[in-house]
Copies of this chain bind each other. A is one copy, B any other.
């Protein structure tokens, strides 16, 4: 670092601006891709659904702020979820109170439990993303746009990385993983082909043994798999994107 004196900025020289993080926390529940939304308790947009978020603290890294928000809102730690910055939104009018620039993040959480609506202050819920995509629900601020971008990134990333597995527990069956992909695009995938793609991908490895998958106890037991190393590209897509509702095959 050079030794000359630093010409310190005078913060008063620059207009006040607040920096926040907003989170699109995704999970699969009831075979449906859902996002965590909170109900706003005050103006503006009082009563409307919004992405959870909060201010970035003075000495806090952006990623740390996002991880903290994730933990505060869901109890999920950074290790248990996949967390990635999306991009920033800073339209001058996006918050009527003052200039707020928000850094959006998205997260993939394994089977998040629906928030118990119990006597808590803020109401929160896991809402199917389709309800926002078809505009049945209108989010506060520019959060509809943010969520749309987050969904686009999530789906794109699911195509060419193993991130879909972060919706599952550490050990998962190929069918569980397939159901994640089916939920993400609301479609149906061929079990045989999906199996082949996972087996050929270098991003997954068969687990030594492990607990048998619980739940359905019908049909041939499936073997367990896990992610190999970090989320690198599996070479070719696990599943090519398909049209919306092709759940019916001849």
Contact = CB atoms under 8 A, between A and B. Distances in A.
Interface of A: 1-2, 4-9, 11, 14-19, 42-47, 55-56, 58-62, 85-92, 96-99, 101, 103
Contacts of A92: 58-61
A57 to B, nearest CB: 8
A102 to B, nearest CB: 10
18 contacts: A1-B44, A1-B96, A2-B44, A6-B44, A6-B96, A7-B42, A7-B43, A11-B18, A14-B18, A17-B17, A19-B101, A56-B90, A56-B101, A58-B92, A58-B99, A85-B88, A90-B103, A101-B101
A17 B7 CA distance: 16
A75 to B, nearest CB: 25
Would you list the 3 A-B pairs with minimal beta carbon distance, nearest first?
A11-B16, A62-B90, A15-B58
B62 A101 contact: yes
A11 B103 CA distance: 19
B88 A43 contact: no
A11 B90 contact: no
A96 B91 CA distance: 27
B16 A19 contact: no
Contacts of A59: 92
